[in-house]
Amino acid sequence: MHTYKLGRRGALALRAAVKSAAVKRAADVTPAGYQGLALQQYMPVHPRRTEFTPLEQELIRRNLGNVFPKVFKTLADSPAVDLASPIWTGMGTGAALGGATAGIGAALGSRGGTLAGIPVALLGALFGAKARIASNQDILESMRRIPADGTRRDLLSDPVRMQQAIMAHAERLARQQAKKSALMPRRAGATKSAASPIPGGYQGLAFQRYMPTYSRRDELTPEEQKLVAKNRKNVIPKIFTSAADSPAVDLASPAWSAVGGAGVGALVGGISGANMAGWRYAGRGAAIGSVLGAGILGAIAAKYRHARNQGVLEYMHRIPPDGRRRDLYSDPVYYQKNVMNPMLAAIVGRLPSRY
């Protein structure tokens, strides 16, 4: 019995010694001032800058005069393209709300309801301008937390912003699924994850899941430039792509996209114009509708293709020289947006409606 107690004590002592040694080894590889930093996945990636570069100042000044933010944005754009004028926003909001109120009043035959459009327009203008100012301040703060002259891709390195984008995408999928069944409740809004301050100035870069894998290159190699010039002439992007292809195969010509869009627009616009004009003026209505449809959809298609091309080029700047489409998957943002999100959409789409 005495021998058993001694053996058990020895085993416990040996276990305690091994555990102590393991804790010591963990402490040796832990950064100074460690306070559970591995759990802080939402801390800012870059330190806050106090001043903008001359280029950023010029972009901010130019975009603050926009009637509304840029529609066809790309990852290669500056975050300043999301800015807009509070005055124009306020005027637009006020006109929309005031006009709607006055229109409802007129439809009901109420003079008081029609006159109520004036104060509603003033309040709408005030709230619209205030909301735009707050949104602009949020964009400017985001610009201070990315590298100098950074792009919208750098914004997605912020784990909080990327998590919000993922939650918004999941929310849209949930709403789409909810429409399949009246029994499925609508989900609440996405929860925003707040960044927590970390003591000691530790940047925690190793824990930031959405940081770019490679540093951004300013120029493409001669071979990449040839591939870009070649594929920019494509009618449509390459259909059967492989991981061994250059990302340039995803490029296509905005001019050809405009032609395709104009063709569809002319057809749809012609049919719509003929129906709206009636049988007596069907020919004239079809002609006008075709011209308008071709112009509008052609311009939209060209702008959309140009934006897609800029996004492809931005990703090419963020992979190794002469990289392949496989290298794109090393970019966590590309993988999340182009692989994981479509996969999530497919999974949600296959769920039974009762879920």
Q: pLDDT tens-digit profile of 300-318?
A: 999 999 999 998 998 899 8
Q: What's the confidence (pLDDT) of residue 242?
A: 79
DSSP state of 340: I
pLDDT of residue 206: 43
pLDDT in tens, the chain (355 residues): 444 444 555 555 545 554 555 444 444 444 444 444 444 556 666 778 889 999 999 999 999 999 989 988 888 889 999 999 999 999 999 999 988 888 888 777 777 767 778 888 899 999 999 889 888 888 888 888 888 898 888 887 777 677 777 777 777 777 777 776 554 444 444 333 333 333 333 344 444 667 777 788 889 999 999 999 999 999 999 888 877 889 999 999 999 999 999 999 999 999 998 888 888 888 888 999 999 999 999 999 999 999 999 989 988 998 889 988 888 877 777 877 777 778 777 776 665 544 3
* Nearest in space to 314 (alpha carbons), one of 234, 217, 210, 245: 217
Q: Two tokens at 265?
A: 């627009």
- As to burial, measured by CB atoms within 10 angstroms (0-12 exposed, 13-18 middle, 19+ buried), residue 150 is buried
The single residue listed with the structure tokens 């990636």 is: 45
Angle at 180 between CA 176 and CA 184, to 5 degrees: 85
The pLDDT tens digits of the residues spanning 96-154 come to: 998 888 888 877 777 776 777 888 889 999 999 988 988 888 888 888 888 889 888 88
For 284, the 3-state DSSP assignment is helix
Q: Which pLDDT score, from 0 to 100, does residue 16 have? A: 57
DSSP letter assigned to residue 38: G
Q: Please list the alpha-helical segments (H only) found in the chain.
A: 2-28, 54-63, 86-107, 111-115, 117-144, 152-155, 159-178, 222-231, 254-277, 282-316, 325-328, 332-335, 341-350
Question: What are the structural domain ranges in the chain?
Answer: 52-155, 157-192+205-212+331-355, 214-328
User: Rounded to 10 degrees, what is the CA torsion of 208, 72, 260, 266?
Assistant: 150
pTM of the entire structure?
0.58
Q: Please say whether the beta carbons of 102 and 334 come within 8 A.
A: no
Structural tokens at position 43: 């801390």
